[in-house]
Amino acid sequence: MNTRSKPKTDYLLVPQVSSERREYIPIGYMHADTIPTNSLHIMPDAMYWYFGILNSSVHMTWMRMIAGRLHNDYRYSIDVVYNNFPFPPFWRKVERTTSDILMARSKYPEASFADLYDPLLMPKELRQAHEANDRAVMEAYDFPKNMSELQMQRQLLKIYERLKNFREFYDSIGT
């Protein structure tokens, strides 16, 4: 993920700063002909299901725990939030729910992300698509449906620690 160059392929975009009021960061799946501004992080060639994972309550839990703040708003960092996020294994259901989120958004072509993700104005279809995505992502992690945010934070930190230990071991053997 980077913030500097125009991608040659479709890409994900993540705003560097997002309102604390939002339930989800308005992450975009953009066409290569759309030029991103310098206030966005971009992820060229991102796997389609990444969109669903990054648009989930699980990722938002991680982001709220790890991200910096600009006043009260979240400041999304590639190095701190994204690079350390413990992605689950690929899960086909998340690809389907990704499509559902994008389809729900497409019903409101004149609406900005600010409008679509305002907690008071979020369209019902978009909210339902996100809720279905949340369930699919929770299933990908094998998390129970009624897991609290604190329990989710603890589990994500355990997964992160296992992955970190594996990376350190892998690096130590020189391969």
The confidence score (pLDDT) of residue 171 equals 64
The confidence score (pLDDT) of residue 154 equals 96
Residues in contact with 96: Cβ distance below 8 Å, sequence separation at least 6, in sequence order: 136
Q: How far apart are CA 166 and CA 64, in angstroms?
A: 25
Radius of gyration in angstroms for the set of CA atoms belonging to the chain, rounded to a whole number:
16
Q: Kindly tell me the sign of the dihedral angle through the C-alpha atoms of 27, 161, 64, 91.
A: positive
Cβ–Cβ < 8 Å for 101, 113: no
The confidence score (pLDDT) of residue 3 equals 46
Give this prediction's pTM. Answer: 0.85
Please report how many Cα atoms fall inside a 13 Å half-sphere around the Cα of residue 87, on the Cβ side: 14
- Note the pLDDT tens digit of each residue in 70-106: 888 999 988 899 999 999 988 889 999 999 999 999 9
- Note the pLDDT tens digit of each residue in 130-143: 999 999 999 999 99
Residues in contact with 105: Cβ distance below 8 Å, sequence separation at least 6, in sequence order: 116, 126
Please report how many Cα atoms fall inside a 13 Å half-sphere around the Cα of residue 23, on the Cβ side: 16
- Note the pLDDT tens digit of each residue in 163-174: 888 766 666 676
Cβ–Cβ < 8 Å for 63, 19: no
